[in-house]
Amino acid sequence: MNHDHKKVFLITGVSSGFGRAFSEAAVAAGHQVIGTVRREDDRAPFEAIAPGSARAVVLDVTDFAAIDGAIASMIDEFGRIDVLINNAGYGHEGVLEESPLEAMRHQFEVNVFGAVAMMKAVLPGMRERRSGHIINMSSMAGYTPLPGIAYYAGSKFALEGITGVLAKEVEAFGIKVTAIAPGSFRTDWAGRSMIRSERSIADYDALFDPIRKAREDKSGKQAGDPGRAAQALLQLIDAKQAPVHLLLGSDALNVVRGHLADLLAQIDTWEPVSRSTDFA
């Protein structure tokens, strides 16, 4: 691979799932990958992917005070960061009424504030070079209100909106910004990465028990292949015109298209009321 195409990737949360799959694919394509892990123990397994091309850095994306220094060290060593992939995140599952506010705060700290802190840290260098690509891992739950994951969906709706705004703010500087919204993939999202609120209100049993059971039953059998998602990511990085929003998985396509059709129908039904509020 000629050196012009070799990029420096910074990927958060590389111990498993998409982060791991993306790192392996990027290294195989000849890129340099810096991956963040939360524990010292995770450093060696990650670097074993490709000694020299895969570098692990211990960093928790919610340790905001540490982020700028960590990025500065990376830039000292590798010269630049071409691609930031905000992949660190987790799912919180629970009926809204049953889920403590503290759980929501932590969900947003990781999935939204952590991602934004990373973006803010790489933007000055990207702006100076007039190039770069920021990729935020979202979810089909960032479009579609799926019952039982209000806090997670809220965090992904926020990330989708922030991504769209940032894309407009930095377009003139040659910086691309994309939110990737996967459907159900075979990652740890519904397994060890999922935080679940305790059940306490019987009224929600009929709605929520089947949802929780279906998610547990499907864990490990999802249609989405993280390896294929990683190939899609490489295509996205190489694209001249990168989309701001990219769905991955046929389930995501079906669910999001269905939701957008419902939304348009509601807008059309209530159009007279919407128009009635302008000054006469």
Answer for the pair 183, 224: CB distance below 8 angstroms, yes or no. yes
Whole-angstrom distance, CA of residue 77 vs CA of residue 14:
20
Phi, psi of 64 (to 5 degrees): -55, -35
Residue 184 has a pLDDT of 80
Per-residue model confidence as pLDDT tens digits over 98-109: 999 999 999 999
Would you call 204 a catalytic residue per the annotation?
no
pLDDT score, position 1: 39
| Long-range contacts from 32-39, C-beta under 8 angstroms, 24+ separation | 32/6, 32/7, 32/8, 32/78, 33/9, 34/8, 34/9, 34/10, 34/74, 34/78, 34/81, 35/10, 35/11, 36/10, 36/11, 36/12, 36/61, 36/70, 36/88, 37/13
Q: Is 143 a catalytic residue?
A: no
Instruction: Considering the candidates 143, 151, 152, 204, report the single residue annotated as catalytic.
Output: 152
The two structure tokens encoding residue 273: 């009321």
Q: How many other C-beta atoms can be found within 10 angstroms of the C-beta atom of residue 126?
A: 23
Does 156 qualify as catalytic in the annotation? yes
Taking CA atoms, 267 is separated from 260, 261, 274, in Å, by 10, 10, 8
Residue in this structure with the two tokens 């019987």, named with its chain if needed:
202
Q: What is the pLDDT of residue 3?
A: 46
* Confidence at residue 149, expressed as pLDDT on a 0 to 100 scale: 94
Selected catalytic residue, list 156, 176, 184, 204? 156
Given a cut of 70, the residues of the chain with pLDDT beneath it are 1-4, 186-193, 220
Find the catalytic residue in 15, 23, 99, 138. 138
- What is the reported pLDDT for 217? 74
Nearest to 137, CA basis, from 245, 235, 49: 245
Q: 33 - beta bridge partners?
A: 9, 54
Q: Residue 199's pLDDT is what? A: 86
pLDDT at 194: 79
Residue 50 burial class via C-beta count within 10 angstroms: exposed 0-12, middle 13-18, buried 19 and up: middle
- What's the DSSP call for residue 92? E
pLDDT at 204: 93
